[in-house]
Amino acid sequence: MEYFQIVLIDPILDMIGFPIFFAEVVIGGLMTGIMYSLVALGFVLIFKASGVFNFAQGVLALFAALTLVGLMTGTIPVTQAQVPMLALPVWIAIIGTIVVMIGLAYLIEFVVLRPLVNQDPIIMFMSTIGLAFVLEGVGDIIWGSEVKALDVGIPSGMFEWQGIQFQQFDIVAAVIAALLVAVLALFFQYTRVGRALRAVADDHQAALSVGIPLKTIWVIVWSVAGIVALVAGVMWGSKSGVQFSLSLIALKALPVLILGGFTSVPGAIVGGLIIGVGEKVAEVYWGPLVNGAIENWFAYIVALIFLLFRPQGLFGEKIIERV
C-alpha cells in the first residue's frame, strides 16, 4: 500500500504541487524531443524513399558536425593540426560541409546501395550498420575523437515567460525544426522529385521500369538526409559538444519512429516530442525511486508496449499482405 503510494501518488502530487517546475521539466523534455525528431527526420526521409532503415543516420550527423568543426577551425585531416589561416567563417564552412555530405551521398550510393539493389530489407539494414561503423572510424581518423566544441552563433541565454525559464537555444532549435519539417512536407507532396521518391520507396523495380532514375533519386535522398543530419549534428553539437555519443542517437530514433510511424514526417516530430517529454518526466519523477538512469531504457520499453497495440505507429500506414 505504501509502495503503491510512493510509485503512483507521490510523483503526481509533486507535479501538481510544483507546476512551474513540472512545466520546466516538460519543456526540457520537449526540447530534447525536438533534437530526437531532427535525427528521426533523416531516418524517415531515407525510409520513405528507399525502404531502407538507415542505421548510419546518427553517424552521419556526427560526421557532418565533425566536418563543420574541422572546417571552422582550419584543421588538417588526419594530422589534426589546426591552421588558423585555413579556418573558415561559419557560413562558408556550412556550405563546405553540405558539399562534403553530398559527395558522401554519391559515394554511399555507388559503394553500398547500387550493389545491393532489391535485396531484402534486413540485408540493407545490416549494410547500414556496417556503413555506420566505417563512417565512425573514418571520422575519428580524419578529425580525431576528442570532444569538440561547436559554436555557430546560436544565442545561448535564458528567457523568461510566465515565470518559466526557457533557453533561447531551445527556441531557436524548435523554430529550425519546424521550418525543416514544413519544407520537407511540401517537398514530398508537391514536387515531381518528391513523388518519384515515394514511388521508389514502394517498389524499386517498378520505379525503374517507369523510368525513374534510381541512382539519381538515391543520391538526392541521401544528400537531403545528410543535410538534415547536418542540422541535427549542429544542434546537438552546439548543445553538448561534438562527440561519439552523437552516433548513439541512432538507436534512440528507433522508438521515436515506432511511435510516429516509419514513413511519416509529422510522426517523427510527434514521436520525438513524446519520447523526449516521457523520458525527462520519468527520469525526474520516478528516477530517484530506482536509483536513476531510467532514461537509458525508458524510450525502448515505451516503444515495445506501443508495438503491442499499434504497430504501425500513430501516423504510419497499415500494410496489407499479398500472397
Partner 1 sequence: MIYRETGQFKTSYSADQAIWPIFQDRWFIGAIVVVFFVVVPFVASEYWYQSILIPTLVYCLAALGLNILLGYCGQLSLGTGGFMAVGAYACYKLTTSFPEMNLLVVFLLSGGITAAVGLIFGVPSLRIKGFYLAVATLAAQFFLVWLFNKVPWFVNYSPSGSIAMPPRELFGVLVTGPMASPLARYMFALIVVVVLAMIAKNLVRGPLGRSWMAIRDQDIAAEIIGIRPLTTKLSAFCVSSFYVGVAGAMMFALWLGSAETEAFDINVSFLVLFMVIIGGLGSILGSFLGAIFIANVPILLKTIMVDGMGMLAVTAKHVEIIVFGGLIIFFLIVEPLGLARLWQIAKEKLRLWPFPH
Partner 2 sequence: MSENGRVSGEVLLKIDNISLSFGAVKAITNVSFDILKGEVRAIIGPNGAGKTSMLNVINGFYHPQEGTITFKNNVRSQMKPHNAAAQGISRTFQNVALFRGMTTLDNIMTGRNLKIKSNFLASLLYYGWTQREENRHRDFVEHIIGFLEIEAIRKVPVGRLPYGLQKRVELGRALAAEPELLLLDEPMAGMNLEEKQDMCRFVLDVNDEFGTTIALIEHDMGVVMDISDRVVVLDHGEKIADGTPDEVRANQNVIDAYLGVSQD
Q: Which residues in this chain contact partner 1 in the complex, by CB under 8 A?
A: 53, 111-112, 115-116, 119, 121-123, 125-127, 129-138, 140-141, 145, 251, 254-255, 258, 290-294, 296-297, 300-301, 303-305, 307-308, 311, 321, 323
Q: Which residue has the cell 510509485?
A: 7
Read off φ and ψ for residue 321, nearest 5 degrees. Answer: -80, 145
Q: Looking at beta carbons only, is 308 or 320 nearer to partner 2?
A: 320
Contacts of 29 (CB under 8 A, 6+ apart): 276, 277, 278, 279, 280, 281
User: Least distance to partner 2 from the beta carbon of 323, Å?
Assistant: 6
Spell 238-266 as b/e; 16+ CB within 10 A means b.
bbebbbeebbebbebbbbbbbbbbbbbbe
Contacts of 242 (CB under 8 A, 6+ apart): 62, 65, 66, 69, 147, 148, 149, 150, 233, 236
User: Least distance to partner 1 from the beta carbon of 27, Å?
Assistant: 25
Q: Looking at beta carbons only, is 151 or 317 nearer to partner 1?
A: 317
User: Least distance to partner 2 from the beta carbon of 107, Å?
Assistant: 32
Partner from partner 1, partner 2, none contacting 210, C-beta within 5 to 8 A by type: none
Q: Looking at beta carbons only, is 16 or 323 nearer to partner 2?
A: 323
Q: Which residue has the cell 541521401?
A: 222
Partner from partner 2, partner 1, none contacting 53, C-beta within 5 to 8 A by type: partner 1
User: Least distance to partner 2 from the beta carbon of 321, Å?
Assistant: 8
CA 274 to CA 163: how far, in whole Å? 24
| Helix and strand numbers, DSSP H then E, in the chain | 13, 2
Report CA torsion sign: 275, 276, 277, 278: positive
CA 37 to CA 289: how far, in whole Å? 29
Partner from partner 2, partner 1, none contacting 297, C-beta within 5 to 8 A by type: partner 1
Q: How many CA atoms lie within 13 A of 235 on its CB side?
A: 29
> Interface residues with partner 2 (CB under 8 A)?
320-321, 323
Q: Looking at beta carbons only, is 192 or 318 nearer to partner 2?
A: 318
Q: Looking at beta carbons only, is 129 or 208 nearer to partner 1?
A: 129
Partner from partner 1, partner 2, none contacting 320, C-beta within 5 to 8 A by type: partner 2
Q: Looking at beta carbons only, is 266 or 287 nearer to partner 1?
A: 287
E strand or H helix at 160: strand 158-161
Chain centroid offset of residue 319 CA: 25
Q: Looking at beta carbons only, is 192 or 322 nearer to partner 2?
A: 322
User: Least distance to partner 1 from the beta carbon of 110, Å?
Assistant: 12
Partner from partner 1, partner 2, none contacting 200, C-beta within 5 to 8 A by type: none
User: Least distance to partner 1 from the beta carbon of 256, Å?
Assistant: 11
Contact between 18 and 194 under an 8 Å Cβ cutoff? The reply is: no
Q: Looking at beta carbons only, is 219 or 252 nearer to partner 1?
A: 252
User: Least distance to partner 1 from the beta carbon of 258, Å?
Assistant: 6
Residue 265 bridge partners (DSSP): none
- Other C-beta atoms lying within 10 Å of the C-beta of residue 218: 26
Partner from partner 2, partner 1, none contacting 7, C-beta within 5 to 8 A by type: none
User: Least distance to partner 1 from the beta carbon of 77, Å?
Assistant: 13
Partner from partner 2, partner 1, none contacting 293, C-beta within 5 to 8 A by type: partner 1
